[in-house]
Amino acid sequence: MGTDPSLAYQGHVARQTTDARAVFGQTMGLVAFTVGFFALGAWIGRDIEGLAGIFILLGAFIPLLGLNVAVRRGSQQLAIGLLFTFGLMFGLALGPVLSEYASANPAALWQAGGATALFIAGFGAYGYATSRDLSSWSRFLFFGLLGLIAVGIVFIFVSIPGENIIWAVLGLGLFALLTIFDFNRLRRAGMEVAPLIAASIFLDVVNVFLFFLQLFGGGRD
């Protein structure tokens, strides 16, 4: 007897669903561990002073670049190690900033953390649920990031009332789109690129947290 086409199709859909869940679980697990390494780095680096934090921040992008190479070469374990190293170094660099907020307004950290969780969950769920391929957004988002950086540079030299709030709101708007975009990529991703997408989502989480921290912390620099 021949195979029932409807049963074969149902089996194919079931396998795709199982694979998608596995990739989602793997990626979000990596994000969680990377956030943990970030928190550890922030605690270790809370007393870093001067230019050391800037050098560590710049150095953090070395493992991030290495992560891209490792993923292209199919070195999954190396990619995961580089991802965790990036999270740790990013935390070390931002440790003094977070420590300052913790000393001046510790409630802002909890408020920013809760708002970030809701923000990422909401926009991430939308991006993952939509069946539309949003890869065409990449160019727009790239120029959006450049524009946000340009606005930040302008604010360094030009004083505008409420500039920190304006910067934070613009940043949250852009990272809402980036979060939707990254979770939409996750919907279509294979296990081999899980560390790379985890790095993107981790950066979404950290940037959203920092923008909320500016808002809840009273626009501190």
**Considering the domain boundaries, does residue 206 fall inside one?**
yes
**Considering the domain boundaries, does residue 152 fall inside one?**
yes
pLDDT in tens, 67-100: 999 999 989 999 999 999 999 999 999 999 999 8
In the chain, the number of structural domains is 1
**Considering the domain boundaries, does residue 86 fall inside one?**
yes
pLDDT band at 131 (very low <50, low <70, confident <90, very high): confident
**Considering the domain boundaries, does residue 103 fall inside one?**
yes
Confidence check: pLDDT of 9 > 50: no
**Considering the domain boundaries, does residue 164 fall inside one?**
yes
Name the one residue in this structure whose structure tokens are 């956030």. 35
**Considering the domain boundaries, does residue 221 fall inside one?**
no
Question: Mean pLDDT of all residues in the chain?
Answer: 87
Confidence check: pLDDT of 137 > 50: yes
Confidence check: pLDDT of 11 > 80: no
Confidence check: pLDDT of 157 > 90: no
Q: Which domain holds residue 163?
A: 5-216
Contact between 220 and 104 (Cβ < 8 Å):
yes
The pLDDT of residue 18 is 60
Confidence check: pLDDT of 63 > 80: yes
Looking at per-residue pLDDT, the higher value among 156 and 129 belongs to 129
The pLDDT of residue 20 is 83
Looking at per-residue pLDDT, the higher value among 10 and 189 belongs to 189
- Residue % of the chain over a pLDDT of 90: 65
The pLDDT of residue 160 is 79
Q: How far, in Å, CA of 26 to CA of 103, rounded?
A: 35
**Considering the domain boundaries, does residue 91 fall inside one?**
yes
Contact between 207 and 175 (Cβ < 8 Å):
yes
Q: How far, in Å, CA of 32 to CA of 26, rounded?
A: 10
Contact between 96 and 53 (Cβ < 8 Å):
yes
Q: Which two tokens stand for residue 102?
A: 């913790």
**Considering the domain boundaries, does residue 24 fall inside one?**
yes
The pLDDT of residue 219 is 54
